[in-house]
Homo-oligomer: A and B are copies of this chain.
Amino acid sequence: MKVKYNLIHEEKNTQARLGKIETNYGTYDTPMFMPVGTQATVKTLSPEELKDVNSGIILSNTYHLWLRPGENVVDHAGGLHKFMNWDGPILTDSGGYQVFSLAKPKDITEEGVYFKNHLNGDRLFLTPEKSIEIQNKLDSDIAMSFDECPPASADHQYMKESVERTLRWAARGKAVHNNERQSLFGIIQGGPYEDLRKFSAIETVKLDFDGYSIGGVANDDESKDDMYKAIEYSVPYIPKDKTRYLMGVGEPIDIIEGVIRGIDIFDCVLPTRLARHGHAFTHSGKINLKNAKYKEDFSPIDDECDCYACKHYTKAYIKHLINSEETFGARLLSIHNIRFLIKMTEDIREAIKNDELLEYRKKFVKEYYHEDI
């Protein structure tokens, strides 16, 4: 089946909305945070641990799986769910972002993109059709259109050409999409330019996708202000009965600001990446367990957290594991950090329900960032 978005409640004071997404693997509440399993595994975690932190949809990467193990291996395994033992919904990105961020140098043509395999240097060519064909074989529940992801600093002229090309690519991808149980989302681009975001949103929606995402917002060279504006410029043109997905965003404040501007789903590698570096989200801010002050801190990472790591382990132990390069440390912190963002979305949903999202933001920013807004 195609995913179906059901609007439950619109918050009184913001653009935020409570919804439910129906998928092949059950119905899930939004706003939602999706953990990232780049290589058909959410780094260090088992599927049971993902369920345990209340994960809904997870994301996996077309580019990585295309290169290794190859989409045919996943296809012959019976699809990505069976391959990785995950009986929840999966969204695959299109590979566009990875081609433009990992695989340099590249050569963009109307037909597609030539680039170097980041693993072995081989010259490769990815087209909108190929991206969709790979995703059809991976058999994810939601596929993404193949798009160009130019830097936010690209000038208006280049961005205009890019947005137009991405629209042509979106149409080409949709034309070859051939998987009845898989939904296909369109991606709105346009960088920081209001007219281009509007143009991209309107034209992408005309192509009639099963959902829409706002791309090009997690680039290194983009300011938070530009990101928030890109959402504001795009969202008004997305039909209310379709899912709105902000790609690659997972910093707590950006999730809140995204929800306030009408976003339903988010994904980011941040919680697992931070974990590998010994960092943890807590309700009173991000902490670095490598800091000497935690050497004999026998309290949990966050005393307000209900995750497995916080129930059974201390900062001192996890610090020891991280210092000793023991992967069980990254595993405990990944569980915790993912749970933190998912718990955030649970609290956000409660706040939307009660029309108290701005109060939630004020309290969160005060406690987490120690700032008054």
Q: Which residues of A contact B (CB under 8 A)?
A: 39-41, 43-46, 64, 68-69, 73, 76-78, 83-85, 295-296, 298, 312-314, 316-317, 319-321, 323-324, 326-331
Name the residue on B nearest A65 (C-beta). Answer: B320
- The minimal Cβ–Cβ distance linking A52 to chain B, given in whole angstroms, is 11
Number of copies: 2
Question: A76–B41 contact, CB under 8 A?
Answer: no
* In the complex, chain B residues whose CB is within 8 Å of the CB of A46: 328, 331
Whole-angstrom distance from the CB of A350 to the nearest CB of chain B?
31
| Residue pair A41, B326 in contact (C-beta under 8 Å) | yes
Inside 8 A of A84's CB, which chain B residues have their CB? 317
Which residues of chain B have C-beta atoms less than 8 A from A326's C-beta?
Answer: 39, 41, 43
Contacts A68-B320, A320-B39, A320-B68 given; does A328 touch B73 at CB 8 Å: no
Given contacts A45-B328, A328-B45, contact A40 B296 (CB under 8 A): no
For the complex, give the distance between the alpha carbons of A9 and B17 in Å. 69
13 contacts between A and B (CB under 8 A): A39-B320, A39-B321, A39-B324, A40-B320, A44-B327, A69-B323, A73-B316, A73-B320, A76-B296, A76-B298, A77-B298, A77-B317, A327-B327
CA distance A77 to B315 in the complex (A): 11
A298: which B residues are within 8 A, CB to CB?
Answer: 76-78
Please tell me if the beta carbons of B327 and A296 are within 8 angstroms of each other in the complex.
Answer: no
Asked if A328 meets B77 with Cβ closer than 8 Å, knowing A68-B323, A69-B316, the reply is: no
Task: Look across to chain B and name the residue whose beta carbon is closest to the beta carbon of A46.
Answer: B328
List of B residues within 8 angstroms of A321 by Cβ:
39-41
Nearest chain-B residue to A64 (Cβ)?
B324
Is there an interface contact between A44 and B320, defined as CB atoms closer than 8 Å? no
Q: Contact at A313–B69, with CB atoms within 8 Å? A: no
The answer to whether A43 and B327 have CB atoms under 8 Å apart is yes
A73: chain B residues at CB < 8 Å are: 295-296, 316, 320
- Complex alpha-carbon distance, A330 and B77, angstroms: 21
Q: Which residues of B contact A324 (CB under 8 A)?
A: 39, 41, 64, 68
Contact B328 A295 (CB under 8 A): no
